[in-house]
Amino acid sequence: MIGIGVIGYGYWGPNLVRNFAEVPGCRVVAVSDLLIERLAQVRNRYPAIKTTTDYGDLLADPDIDAIVVATPVSTHFPLAMQALSAGKHVFVEKPLAPTTEQVARLIAHAAECDRVLMVDHTFIYTGAVQKIKDLVTEGRLGQLYYYDSVRVNLGLFQHDVSVLWDLAVHDLAIMDYVLGEHPYAVAATGVAHVAGQPANIAYLTCFFERNLLAHLHVNWLAPVKVRRTLIGGDRQMIVYDDLEPSEKVKVYDKGIFLQNGRSGAQDEEGIHKLLVGYRAGDMWAPQLSLTEALRVEATHFVDCIEHRRRPLSDGEAGLRVVRILEAATRSLANGGQPVELSREQVYT
Amino acid sequence: MIGIGVIGYGYWGPNLVRNFAEVPGCRVVAVSDLLIERLAQVRNRYPAIKTTTDYGDLLADPDIDAIVVATPVSTHFPLAMQALSAGKHVFVEKPLAPTTEQVARLIAHAAECDRVLMVDHTFIYTGAVQKIKDLVTEGRLGQLYYYDSVRVNLGLFQHDVSVLWDLAVHDLAIMDYVLGEHPYAVAATGVAHVAGQPANIAYLTCFFERNLLAHLHVNWLAPVKVRRTLIGGDRQMIVYDDLEPSEKVKVYDKGIFLQNGRSGAQDEEGIHKLLVGYRAGDMWAPQLSLTEALRVEATHFVDCIEHRRRPLSDGEAGLRVVRILEAATRSLANGGQPVELSREQVYT
Amino acid sequence: MIGIGVIGYGYWGPNLVRNFAEVPGCRVVAVSDLLIERLAQVRNRYPAIKTTTDYGDLLADPDIDAIVVATPVSTHFPLAMQALSAGKHVFVEKPLAPTTEQVARLIAHAAECDRVLMVDHTFIYTGAVQKIKDLVTEGRLGQLYYYDSVRVNLGLFQHDVSVLWDLAVHDLAIMDYVLGEHPYAVAATGVAHVAGQPANIAYLTCFFERNLLAHLHVNWLAPVKVRRTLIGGDRQMIVYDDLEPSEKVKVYDKGIFLQNGRSGAQDEEGIHKLLVGYRAGDMWAPQLSLTEALRVEATHFVDCIEHRRRPLSDGEAGLRVVRILEAATRSLANGGQPVELSREQVYT
Amino acid sequence: MIGIGVIGYGYWGPNLVRNFAEVPGCRVVAVSDLLIERLAQVRNRYPAIKTTTDYGDLLADPDIDAIVVATPVSTHFPLAMQALSAGKHVFVEKPLAPTTEQVARLIAHAAECDRVLMVDHTFIYTGAVQKIKDLVTEGRLGQLYYYDSVRVNLGLFQHDVSVLWDLAVHDLAIMDYVLGEHPYAVAATGVAHVAGQPANIAYLTCFFERNLLAHLHVNWLAPVKVRRTLIGGDRQMIVYDDLEPSEKVKVYDKGIFLQNGRSGAQDEEGIHKLLVGYRAGDMWAPQLSLTEALRVEATHFVDCIEHRRRPLSDGEAGLRVVRILEAATRSLANGGQPVELSREQVYT
């Protein structure tokens, strides 16, 4: 039985406690938070869980094997480092840390301590993204052409991070998992419409080898809520709409093909044209697992601890996402100038 | 009674002839095309219209006051120049010409000849865009924050121009008309997924003064058709969905506001936060004119000739759009490097 | 401070306890249920609430002023009667009772005991239905023409009541509230596709004076979920779609009109035709209150007790709905034969 | 080469002429109409087609093998009878005739004259309905449970026939084709909201053997346009939405099943319950033929003449539809009283 300690009981903490409380093979031993009202909520709902305002109590508790960090981003690094040093496995809310340098140190320290380090990339544990990953891996889409996502709504403006770090982090985590490739450059543009605040609308382009292009649109100031991703390949294409109540993933047997045996033709105006044909077939919406993503993820974390497995969203996944966010932030500050991600940087 | 001559009876020509044939105050005198089969179609449908394979016959015809150019883009400039020299008013399919230099020369020549020069920016004559323009002009949206459009579908791959010149031209014409402002820089990224062909997917960002940002997504290789534009302001916001059968324009009385009397506050974690409030009100879908845009536009052209008025989509409008396309093409070729549009360039 | 006792902690009970627990001016004193596991859940979440397997304890408790009945329909009548006899106000889940005779006796007994009797017609307390009621009352729709609702999905098959008593009861409660009129006859058809079980698909027509027609479609065996009501009037029309995330109520300024000054005309084939004209105007989706309906309803119950007001969903409302359900069940059993609801029956 | 003569060039006639003009193996020889303006349109578009105001000219023309009747319903019977007597094959707009008695006489006369009699049930020739028919025939849906259609919009009020004869005729033709079964009784309710005019809103129920139920909702006075049919079976279910631009037919692998080996169980409240389980699988939208239905239908008519085949929409199909409309009209006039369709009536 893995003992879990949760640091932070704000917005996301209650969801983490609720899920870890119901995963077989683990139990939530204690929760810490700076606010005693929140701790009262914990005791009210879970009388058996210990509470404290001092997270140090959790690090010192021999019944606790793993620490879940659900605090503001700026505190992720020191808390996770201390937890690893205390011999605990660590599960950290996204993004793993605010800089690649800190993420790299966390990865190194976890390796030294021989502990599991996992970042909470929740979406990759949804039935929808799991299915998309399967389809891509099976080659159903053929060669990938593009990845295009839109994640916009009204609110919630953050005061300390831009919309990239708040919303695009989700899409980058999904993209990293689904594509299994790393961009060699990124470019981002965006604007802060409230003076003195971080950007509330942003567009992020990721350049990959072999003409694969990814693009993300994130916006805190949209009149409607949109959560839609298009993934195009040379065999099939996917529309993933997370707001659809039931058919979130639609697979289209559509595409183009080049006319066989000839690369082009003379058209009536005497111009040499390549003949591009269009193929339209069935659409198919596979049945998806309805298990709550956080439940799947919490179960996976416990499983990785027990069997010393590497999590799907390990420190490296966290690093790849933070590296893109960091480069995108730099590009945005430079008016959209593309920023290269050297291969050494990616894999060091 | 204004006499009209139409050069080109391919994809768009039949729509132009049909509409000009029904506008009071003008009549279609003659149509020219290189293909005699097409001319047979003209005679079959409109026995009173003369046909010829030599467009020179139209330029020489004293019954013809105005020439409509509906030929491939590469021929727009010489045809329009000759028509102006022949003393004809000219209406040219979009884009007006393939380079700003040619467009500028067309504008200058039309001025010299004292003839009307109009470019076929069809969408600005739709009921939807007219209504949006009214709302923006009335100040219903307040200060403009962003303009975001998506125009994607499967096909029709062009062999001579990229998806920017084929699809984004529509959005740029709408944007130019609605915003009434000119970007100082643009950046574009895109990919050609068919070797040796122009880009079939592209993202275009336009930077304006006062933190206004515009972004266009165009794609010939999408599994679904999308025609959606979001326009955000500090008072109201618009969703324009051209595929909606009836409510194409929705106006949302939504937005943010800063808490009055104070610019921020200390939150529970001791961090200084600006208090951004959210405002949600009614949504309203105004009744739109259902008149075919091309009919409105053809009527407007005739009216401009008769009363020597400047068309809404005059040569300058054509120039502003082509200037952006030209700069975007350069940016795309340079991997997304932003390209500045100097003020002098814009207004010369 | 009104003391509340809740009988039944199955499907709906937890929602009732949660809401009454947070309404100012009342507190949940005790909960009874036959299953001790459920009572353990109550104690876990609400340590201050007493629990018992004997509902008699609640009736005898002097701290309890009002009883909330959330048990199977067949037990509503005896429980509510005993609660009234014990001097308690009573709030009963829908439908109020399985027969009009029982409902009438409950109404009479509540009057004798001078206690508040309220039925849980949840939907009439939603922001959407409240807004629709306002619009109808203000005359925005003009004379009402029809009320058409569809409430279909896959599941949940009930074993003891037909789909009419399970799903149509919601629409009848809304219809009764919004229209403020009573049908003089009903007709229903339906089928049980599982042998020996109640009907799982049904169509119910209600006939009103002045050519007002209402029709309800309910189905437990539909591949998609639909919750849509059309309300037509001679001035405006409403579409109420409860599955829309934000714009649940849309008001259309559309309709017909008869050509002014003349009742008809001779058409080209020499037939006398009435000239019906069509009017199409704006669509408007009013901002709706987002307060949870059950919260509004619980607050209203407490307010009715404190100020001795008649609830919106009083015993008479419950009676009108059950009377239609009873007649519809008879019609359905007779293959769709219409059943009259005599005026005396309605008002006795 | 089959010679075609078309009587009537009003609303539907131009579509018929356009399609027959392009079907290989036939040619449109002549068109008659009472209005000379319409005949001028014919000559303008089709210089080779003869025109006349006297349909008798068509009946007497030896170059004409088949007559297409596209006139008001009240004239279908005499025109079709005369055409058959003149030795012509006949294609009649829907509905075939205003009474079953007239339809029966047409069928008998066509048999005597050994001519093809076909009714224009356009929708059964669409790619969508053809696909649905295939799926039902293959047993994909299993045993059929219900057929539910909604066909509503604003307009076009007819002065001579009710909304049943104008709109429900389409759904009855589809239903007849897809189900391949005949109802034993029908019931209909409806209202005329314009005094002195036929019903503009109607609900029609059809009762079939083996618990199959069909229901149609038609309305000329709806604020939105809906064209949606649900077809439920015990294996799969279909949603057919004719307004969807691309995925008009969706097949849901969903349904219920009875728990294996046991017909029920005791639930916690001690009530005997049947255990109904729910099954949810993939959704699939098959690629549909995009050929215009009227083209398919015209080709089929010519093929039936050439090869002496019985049309899919033969006189009997017309009879089955008109029989239901006639009975529904009687039921509607009697306040919704069900009307039986005796087997003898159906097959005589």
Structure tokens at D234: 């015990």
Residue C338 is predicted with a pLDDT of: 96
C246 within 8 A of A154, measured Cβ to Cβ: no
C191–chain A Cβ distance below 8 A for any pair: no
Interface test with C, best of B287, B288, B290 (most C CBs within 10 A): B287
Q: Mean pLDDT over residues B261-269, rounded?
A: 44
B96 within 8 A of B315, measured Cβ to Cβ: yes
Which residues of chain A have a CB within 8 Å of the CB of D237?
A: none
Q: How far is CA A69 from CA A45, A82, A338, in A?
A: 20, 11, 33
Residue A270 is predicted with a pLDDT of: 44
Structure tokens at C146: 């029809």
Which CATH number goes with the domain that contains D185? 3.30.360.10
pLDDT tens-place string over residues D101-160: 999 999 999 999 999 999 999 999 999 999 999 999 999 999 999 999 999 999 888 888
Closest residue on chain A to B224 (Cα): A239
Residue C272 lies in a domain: no
**Closest-CA residue to B203 (of A226, A327, A189, A219):** A189
Residue C187 lies in a domain: yes
Interface test with C, best of B135, B140, B253, B282 (most C CBs within 10 A): B282
**Are A50 and A161 contained in the same domain?**
no
Which residues of chain D have a CB within 8 Å of the CB of B45?
A: 44-45
Distance CA C266, CA C274 (A): 9
Q: Is the pLDDT of residue D172 over 70?
A: yes
Residue A273 is predicted with a pLDDT of: 55
Q: Is the pLDDT of residue D268 over 50?
A: no
Question: Which D positions 229-248 lie with beta carbon below 8 A of chain C?
Answer: 230, 232, 234, 237-239
**Are A202 and A330 contained in the same domain?**
yes
**Closest-CA residue to A94 (of A103, A83, A107):** A103
pLDDT tens-place string over residues D8-33: 999 999 999 999 999 999 999 999 99
Residue with tokens 């006139």: D71
**Is the model more confident about B215 or about D155?**
B215
Residue D318 lies in a domain: no
Percentages of chain D per state (helix, strand, coil), in multiples of 5: 35, 30, 35
**Closest-CA residue to B247 (of B136, B127, B141):** B127
**Are C151 and C163 contained in the same domain?**
yes
Residue D188 lies in a domain: yes
Backbone angles phi, psi at A278, to 5 degrees: -115, 140
User: What is the DSSP secondary-structure string of B288-347?
Assistant: ---S-HHHHHHHHHHHHHHTTPPPTTBHHHHHHHHHHHHHHHHHHHTTT--EE--HHHHH
Query: How many CA atoms lie within 13 Å of A230's alpha carbon, on the beta-carbon side?
Result: 25
Angle between helices A76-85 and A100-113 (to 10 degrees): 10
pLDDT tens-place string over residues C165-213: 999 999 999 999 999 999 999 999 999 999 889 999 999 999 999 999 9
C229 within 8 A of C237, measured Cβ to Cβ: no
**Are B83 and B164 contained in the same domain?**
no
**Are C221 and C143 contained in the same domain?**
yes
Quick check: B215 and A189 CB within 8 A? yes
B223–chain D Cβ distance below 8 A for any pair: no
Residue C346 is predicted with a pLDDT of: 46
Which CATH number goes with the domain that contains A72? 3.40.50.720
C164 within 8 A of C177, measured Cβ to Cβ: no
Which pLDDT band holds residue B45 (cuts at 50, 70, 90)? confident
Angle between helices C13-20 and C293-307 (to 10 degrees): 60
Q: How far is D28 from chain C (nearest CA, A)?
A: 24
**Are A283 and A337 contained in the same domain?**
yes
Q: How far is CA A91 from CA A6, A62, A81, A313, in A?
A: 9, 18, 12, 10
Residue B155 is predicted with a pLDDT of: 83
On the 0-12 / 13-18 / 19+ scale of CB atoms within 10 A, D337 is: middle
Q: How far is CA A318 from CA A322, A344, B286, C226, in A?
A: 6, 17, 47, 41
C187 within 8 A of C336, measured Cβ to Cβ: yes
Residue A247 lies in a domain: yes
Distance CA A227, CA D347 (A): 56
Quick check: D245 and B245 CB within 8 A? no
Residue C275 is predicted with a pLDDT of: 73
A111 within 8 A of A315, measured Cβ to Cβ: no
Structure tokens at D235: 């294996």
10-residue block means of pLDDT along chain A (348 residues)?
97 96 96 97 90 98 98 96 98 97 98 98 98 97 97 90 96 98 96 94 97 97 97 97 95 85 44 72 96 97 97 98 98 96 55
Which residues of chain B have a CB within 8 Å of the CB of A252?
A: 223-224
**Residues with Cβ within 8 Å of residue B62, at least 6 apart in sequence:** none
Q: Is the pLDDT of residue D198 over 80?
A: yes
Q: How far is D260 from chain C (nearest CA, A)?
A: 14
**Are C182 and C151 contained in the same domain?**
yes
pLDDT tens-place string over residues C285-296: 999 999 999 999
Q: Is the pLDDT of residue B31 over 80?
A: yes
b/e string for D291-307 if b means 16 or more Cβ within 10 A? ebbbbbbbbbbbbbbee
Q: Is the pLDDT of residue B261 over 50?
A: no
Residue D160 is predicted with a pLDDT of: 84
Which residues span the domain enclosing B189? 124-292+323-347
pTM greater than the 0.80 cutoff: yes
Residue D113 lies in a domain: yes
Distance CA D63, CA A256 (A): 47
Residue D347 is predicted with a pLDDT of: 43
A285–chain D Cβ distance below 8 A for any pair: yes
Backbone angles phi, psi at B309, to 5 degrees: -100, 160
A105 within 8 A of A304, measured Cβ to Cβ: no
Which pLDDT band holds residue B274 (cuts at 50, 70, 90)? low
Q: Which ipTM score applies to this complex?
A: 0.93
Which residues of chain A have a CB within 8 Å of the CB of C225?
A: 245
**Are D247 and D100 contained in the same domain?**
no
Distance CA A248, CA A139 (A): 20
pLDDT tens-place string over residues D283-306: 999 999 999 999 999 999 999 999
Distance CA D8, CA C265 (A): 21
C198–chain D Cβ distance below 8 A for any pair: no
**Are C76 and C166 contained in the same domain?**
no
Residue C279 lies in a domain: no
Quick check: C282 and B282 CB within 8 A? no
Residue C285 lies in a domain: no
Distance CA D163, CA D165 (A): 6
**Are C8 and C105 contained in the same domain?**
yes
**Are D63 and D141 contained in the same domain?**
no
**Are D147 and D283 contained in the same domain?**
yes
Q: Is the pLDDT of residue C30 over 60?
A: yes
Q: How far is CA D186 from CA C130, D183, D202, D343, in A?
A: 37, 7, 13, 13
The shortest CB-CB distance from D45 to any of B45, B225, B246 is to: B45
Closest residue on chain A to C45 (Cα): A45
D254 within 8 A of C223, measured Cβ to Cβ: yes
CA distance between the termini of chain C = 35
Residue B260 is predicted with a pLDDT of: 53
Q: How far is CA A327 from CA B191, B214, D324, in A?
A: 21, 22, 70
Q: Which residues share a beta bridge with A68?
A: A6, A91
What is the share, in percent, of chain D residues with pLDDT greater than 70? 93
The number of folded domains in chain B is 2
